[in-house]
Amino acid sequence: MKNFFYKILTYFDKLSFSYKTYFLIFIITSGMICIVLLSQISIFTLKEDFDRFFNKRTKSLIKLENIKDTYKVNIQDTLKDLDNKNLNFEQAEGVLSLGKQLIRKNWESYTKDINKDSEVIISSFIKKFIITRNINGDNEILKENIMKNIDSKMASIEKTLVSLNYKPNSKQIANLNLQINAITIYITSLINYDLSIAINEKNDTQKVFKVIIIFSIISIFMVFLFSILLSIFITNNFKKLNNSLEKNVAEKTKELIKLNDTLEKKISKEVSQNRKKDIIMFQQARLASLGEMLNNIAHQWRQPLGSITMIVQSFQTKMSLGKLTNEFIDEKVNDALLLANNMSNTLDDFKNFFSPDKAKIKFDIEKCIEHSIELSKYLLSKENIKIELIIKDKITLNNYYNEISHVFLNIISNSKDALCANIDKNDRIIKIMVNRYKNNAIINMMDNGGGIPQEIVPKIFEPYYTTKYKSAGTGIGLYMSKQIIEKHINGSIIYKNIVHKIKDNKNYNCSLFTIKIPINDEDVDEK
């Protein structure tokens, strides 16, 4: 026996980890299913036997008792009242007829119920193996004889009751009482027999229930035992697996340590390279904007420089004509100083634009947009581009003025390029609309330059992506605008192509940039 168990344990120990796991799951699952089935069978058997006991035995006993009571109350007592002349024959005959009907009905119902087979397949199958004696007992023949005697007595009583004349004598009534007493005894014997059968069936059911409980306990124990054994095997496998994993982890740890020695150097190198790229991109963005600013400065200086030149020439002319006076000199000097002061103010405007914001300031969004428009007005007027600014809500921001102005200037510049390339000079228009939605300033910047091809819309905010010639653009203006709006001021900028009646109720294919800038009312109030 020991060798047998040793062989089994050795066989299980040689199985792979996955098979052991599957076998453990199978044992636990099948054991639980077996336990559930046994418990359900025991419950079902008890319920069925109880129903049989109640329906086949208890109800039949009630019917037998009803027959006895009917014989006594409806037959014997009526005959007694008839003999004592408490009832006339017509009244007694109605009661006797009703009694005969009740007796016959209860008796037929009783015989039909006891002949009905209510044994279930599962219950009968189990009892064949557990109960060796005859379930119906050894007195089945006695029961049949009792029922035959009851049938004969019923027939005799009914015959005697039919033969009663209008004035039955005492002898006939005494004979009927004897027959009724005899059938009552038979019915009592039948009741006692059915009670003994019911008790036997209850005992049989109790035996079946005990056997099923024993099998349930054994199955639980077997499942528990197999689960423990397999758990031990699986635990050993886990230990072996853990040891191998620890070795692998130790080897990988050594490799990681070596990798970490050089990783910091690689990371710092990549970070420095990325910083250089960012610096180059910012410089290119500044230079691109600087080129446009120089054109605007040149335009705004051209007229005052011409005026100053004329003032200088006027001095020479007056001197040659001998008409140079102190009043003339003072007047022209004042004019030259005024022109020089305007030129100096122009330089200050552009110088402040290119200086980075170090702190947030309070400003009106309308003034910021107008400043961007002012810086680009020369190029816009040169290309005959009209700008329409619509302010629906007055909004004050506490944010980075120059950076936001730079974003507006980039988008205006892009719109200018699109309008110059696609639209006739008489129809070029840029519309800027400002309104407030909840705690955000919404700036919609639209132009009728034909929009951007849909296939390249997802790429317009990528760095160095441009559809212009290299001499006309670097491809970082919109990228820098997105970085400023989303990373510096926690807003958002999106683009989409739309069809809009931007001018003269005529539909145009338009580009629409929507900028959302958070409004912090508390910061604005503090300012």
Residue 457 in this model has a pLDDT that exceeds 80: yes
- 493 — pLDDT class (breaks 50, 70, 90): very high
- pLDDT score for 425: 84
Asked whether 226 and 31 are in contact (CB, 8 A), the reply is yes
More confident residue, 497 or 188: 497
CATH number of 361-526: 3.30.565.10
Residues 517/489, Cβ–Cβ less than 8 Å: yes
Q: What is the Cβ-side half-sphere exposure of residue 337, based on CA atoms within 13 angstroms?
A: 6
Of 522, 431, 416, 420, the closest CA to residue 477 belongs to 416
CA distance 473 to 484: 19
Who has greater pLDDT, 224 or 434?
434
Higher pLDDT, 268 or 510: 510
Measured distance CA(424)–CA(421) in Å, rounded: 9
Question: Per-residue pLDDT tens for 242-257?
Answer: 788 888 888 888 888 8
Residue 475's pLDDT is what?
60
Confidence category of residue 126, pLDDT binned at 50, 70, 90 = low
Mean pLDDT of the chain: 76
Confidence of residue 206 (pLDDT cuts 50, 70, 90): confident
Q: Given 3-state DSSP classes, what are the helix, strand and coil percentages for the chain, each rounded to the nearest 5?
A: 75, 10, 15
Please, which pLDDT band fits residue 526 given cuts at 50, 70 and 90? very low
Under the banding of pLDDT at 50, 70 and 90, the label for residue 66 is confident
The structural domains of the chain, with segments of one domain joined by +, span 361-526
Contact, 400 vs 365, CB < 8 A?
Answer: no
Q: Half-sphere exposure of residue 186, counting CA atoms within 13 Å on the CB side?
A: 22
pLDDT above 60: residue 362: yes
The single residue listed with the structure tokens 């170090």 is 358
Highest mean pLDDT among 27-36, 58-67, 372-381, 398-407: 398-407
Q: Which two tokens stand for residue 82?
A: 């008839």
Q: How far is CA 166 from its chain centroid?
A: 90
- Rounded to whole angstroms, how far apart are CA atoms 437 and 443? 10
What are the φ/ψ torsions at residue 22 (nearest 5 degrees)? -60, -40
Banded pLDDT at 472 (limits 50, 70, 90): very low
In this predicted structure, the answer to whether residue 80 has a pLDDT above a threshold of 90 is no
Q: For 322-364, where are the alpha helices, taking DSSP H only?
A: 326-354
Lowest-confidence segment of 2-11, 128-137, 432-441 by average pLDDT: 128-137
Query: Mind listing the pLDDT tens digit for each residue in 307-341?
Result: 778 778 888 888 888 888 888 888 888 878 877 77
Quick one: pLDDT band at residue 102, thresholds 50, 70, 90? confident
The first and second tokens of residue 434, run together, are 């400002």
Tell the burial category of 266 from Cβ atoms under 10 Å away from its Cβ (0-12, 13-18, 19+).
exposed
Q: What is the pLDDT of residue 289?
A: 60
Distance CA 422, CA 236 (A): 78
Residue labelled with tokens 């792979």: 16
- The percentage of the chain sitting over the pLDDT mark of 70, rounded to a whole number, equals 71
The pLDDT of residue 522 is above 70: no
Q: Is the pLDDT of residue 75 over 70?
A: yes
- Under the banding of pLDDT at 50, 70 and 90, the label for residue 375 is confident
| pLDDT of res. 240 | 76
- Would you give the end-to-end CA distance of the chain in angstroms? 94
Q: Which pLDDT band holds residue 363 (cuts at 50, 70, 90)? A: very high
Phi, psi of 357 (to 5 degrees): -75, 130
Residue 11, pLDDT > 70, answer: no
The answer to whether residues 164 and 101 touch, using CB atoms and an 8 Å cutoff, is no
pLDDT-derived band at 430 (thresholds 50, 70, 90) equals very high
Q: Look at 75-79, 172-176, 253-257, 296-300 and tell me which has the smallest mean pLDDT.
A: 296-300
Please state, in angstroms and rounded to a whole number, the distance separating the CA atoms of residues 245 and 219: 37
Residues in the chain: 527
Predicted confidence at residue 424, as pLDDT, reads: 85
Q: Which residue has the tokens 């009803």?
A: 66
- Give residue 120's pLDDT: 47
Query: Does the structure show a pLDDT above 70 at 89?
Result: yes
Mean pLDDT (whole number) for 9-24: 66
Residue of 137 and 143 predicted with greater confidence: 143
Q: How confident is the model at residue 350 (pLDDT cuts 50, 70, 90)?
A: low
d(Cα 371, Cα 38) in Å, to the nearest integer?
89
HSE-CB for 10 with a 13 A CA cutoff: 6
Question: pLDDT digit string (tens) for 288-299?
Answer: 666 656 655 665
- Average pLDDT of 431-446? 94
Among 131-135, 336-340, 478-482, 494-498, top mean pLDDT goes to 494-498
Beta strand residue intervals within 356-465, DSSP E: 361-364, 386-391, 396-399, 429-437, 440-447
SS3 annotation, 502-514: EECCEEEEEEEEE
User: In angstroms, rounded to a whole number, what is the distance separating the alpha carbons of residues 96 and 87?
Assistant: 12
What's residue 524's pLDDT?
47
